[in-house]
Structures are given as structure tokens and as C-alpha cells.
Amino acid sequence: MNAEQRERAEREQARRVLPPAACSDPAPGRTEARRRHLLSEIDRRTQARSTRPVLRPRRRMALVLGAVVAAGAAVVVLSLGSGTTGAPDVPSASAASVRVLERAALAANATSQTKVLDGQYVYVKTVGHTSVLSENKAGQMVLLREDEGMEQWTSVDGSERTLQRKAGKDKLLPEGPASLNSPTYGFLAALPTDPHVLLKLIRDDAEKNHGAGSGSTTGPDQEAFVTIGDLLRTGVAPPATTAALYRAAALIPGVDVVPEAVDAAGRRGVAVARVHDGERTEWIFDTSTDRLLGERTVLLKDSAWGKAGSVVTSVALVSSGIVGEAGQAS
């Protein structure tokens, strides 16, 4: 099969999974370099899938011991980004997922670049929930649902503390340097926009705490997937940075497509996902605009957290933008 035939086959495969694009593709001259890169990735991955066995990664459920609640009842929270140890035999990202992520990258690049000034704030509003295992006075573990809806204002240049509003109550988050786990707009704007370089930076950071010998149940590949998801969901970045994050995710092994998914706001879309040990982390995209709607974690097998099919965490991005002061909505 030559390159042209392979391209037609890949397009047909993606067409069966995805709805038609909401708008026509950009001019060929503007995207030719990206198209060549995408096709070379598909060629490489198709060859890799034909020569390597497909093995599923294994991990244990990631648990985080939380604060003590009423009468000494301990709370255990299922983190939104629990993950996997990196495995050499995990297949490359599927062609369909590469297609979804490339469309999201093109949509991001088509967004007008907003002039951002020091002293302004990134505003993000989310709705959703997290599953919680709580030990009651009798020593029994009870599964609860904790509200994760919030509004948050983060200083563009990091000069002011982040204001977070949950259930009508405001609090200032602790000060600290900007990082992948606590980004500012300025931090995101300074990230490399080459997807390979960007993924290496994120994965190297994950390797420090989640690599071989760390004892972590979250490996570098899944941690990189989770980190990128968090950056996309909770931060506003320049269009080129957002596009690079989507293309970096397309380079992570084990990424695939879920044709139908619903976010915490009840909006339906297509999901790019990564599975580990009976749990699937999904990024949900609007099929008309290719914009990110939210993220959720779905159980694929029965566990203490619920029955197969249960959505144990779900957070939807309902509003975001740049505002002049903390407390102002976009």
C-alpha cells in the first residue's frame, strides 16, 4: 500500500468514528508541513502496530489520603489523574485519536491571539465531582461524591496569589513558583511549541516522581497525559501553546478514541482517552467546534469505587478567559 492509499484508508477509518468537520480544512499551503508530519506519524504507527504485540498496561488504583472530617472520619479521594507505569509494549496512539487531537490543535490555532497584560488574571469556571471513600465512626468505608465546581482567578504574571471560589466561599491559594502543576499564563506562554520537545519536557518532569524505582503507581506516560489534560482544562494559554499540547498528547502511547462521552455539564462529544487497569481517563471534545469540554474518569470493571461504567470523576470547563481583576467573570 503506497502513501496515498494509506492516507485514504486512514481518512476512511477516522470518518467512521468521527462526524464531519464543522468547517472546511485550512488552505493546503498553510498546513502542508503539518499534514506531512501527521502522515509520517500514521505510517510509523501503522508499521509499529503490525510488528508489536498489543499488551495492556497494569497498575493499582491511585489513592490520596485526605484531611480528617467530622468526628475523625478519614477521607480517601480518587485523584482525577491516577495513572500507569510506562510499558514498552503499549501501542502508539491510534490514528483516530491523532485525528481528533489534530483537529483540536487546528481549532486552537484558529483562535485569535488575545493581548494579555501583567496585572490581569486567567479566569476559569468548572463544574463536576470527585468520588470519595470516607471512613465513618463505625469503621465502615462509604462512597461519597464531592462537589468539584469552582471559579478560579490566577495572576497572569504570578505576582498575586490565586483566588479560588467554591460553594460561594473564597480562599487564596498558597504562594509558590509557577510550574506544570501550578501554571500561570506567562509560564504556559514560555513552553516550547514543538510537540516532541514539549512532551519530553513534561515526561522528564513526570519521570522524577513517577519513573522506575519511584514506587509510584503513576508512570511517566500516564502522568504526562494527565498533566497535559490538567493544563488544557485549568489554564488559558496562547493558541500556539494549546495546539502544541494537543499534538504532544498525540505522541503518547496508549491514547485512543471513545466515540461517545458526556461531560459534567451534560454536553455530549467524542473523547480521547487512555486506559489503565480498569479505569479510563477521557478528554471530551465538542464534535462541532473541536473544543475541549471537560474530562472524566470511567470505571471499566467493578471495584470499591463503584460498578463498571460508573463515572468516578468528572469536571467540565464551562467558562474561561482573561479578566482585569480577581473576582470578575469573563
Does the pLDDT value for residue 46 go beyond 60? Answer: no
Close Cβ partners of 10 (under 8 Å, ≥ 6 residues apart): 42, 46, 95, 99
Does the pLDDT value for residue 65 go beyond 90? Answer: no
Domain ranges (residues) in the chain: 3-55+85-126+149-323
For 139-168, what is the mean pLDDT? 93
> Is the pTM of the predicted complex or chain greater than 0.95?
no
**Per-residue pLDDT at 5:** 56
Does the pLDDT value for residue 310 go beyond 50? Answer: yes
Pairing verdict, β 311-323 and 141-147: unpaired
**Closest alpha carbon to 121 in 145, 77, 151:** 151
| Cβ-contact 313, 297 below 8 angstroms | yes
DSSP characters over 59-79: -PPPEEEEEEEGGGEEEEEE-
Q: What percent of the chain has pLDDT over 70?
A: 71
Angle at 41 between CA 275 and CA 48, to 5 degrees: 65
Does the pLDDT value for residue 224 go beyond 80? Answer: yes
